[in-house]
Homo-oligomer: A and B are copies of this chain.
Amino acid sequence: MTGELSFQDQGSVLHCHGCGPDNASGLQIKSYWEDAGAVARWKPEPHHCGGSRDILNGGIIASLIDCHSLNLAIAHAYRAESRPIGSSPRIAYVTANINIDYLKPTPIHEPVELRATISRIEGRKTWVRCSLSAAGQICATGEVLGVRVM
């Protein structure tokens, strides 16, 4: 059932280090519809640590928020055209800006959960808000501006 596949496994993105299913060395996050937005859950490896071995690296957090947010923008664009994700012509977005507040240390030994919602769309631009939580607490929030590649 296509509806149960992640955006990425439906073909939203192929090669990307953060979310491409074809990238064996990447983070391979998987994003799914949930209500009006998207959710992803991901388990860090020990080498994804920050300055302390117990916390998740801020750059990895940025990658997760960036990729999950752009995948929502892409999935939303396919849905707006009433087309399956990954169908031709392919829809691609690039990140124009990312702004992340790191609210508290993110424990590395817990799965993280990403929740994204679209906050605004203007022409080719889509703004997505995304939170990252672990152990039931929001550890980081971000806004990503994606621009559709025409």
Q: Chain A 19-53, CB within 8 Å of chain B: the 1/0 string?
A: 01001111100000000000000000101111111
How many monomers of this protein are in the complex? Answer: 2
**A15 part of interface (Cβ distance < 8 Å):** yes
**A58 part of interface (Cβ distance < 8 Å):** yes
Known contacts A62-B59, A62-B66; A51 and B99 CB within 8 A of each other: no
Q: List 18 A-B contacts (CB under 8 A).
A: A13-B51, A15-B52, A15-B53, A17-B48, A17-B60, A18-B58, A25-B47, A26-B47, A59-B60, A59-B66, A60-B63, A62-B62, A62-B100, A63-B63, A94-B105, A96-B101, A98-B102, A99-B100
Chain A residues packing against B (C-beta within 8 Å): 13-18, 20, 23-27, 45, 47-53, 57-60, 62-64, 66-67, 92-102, 105
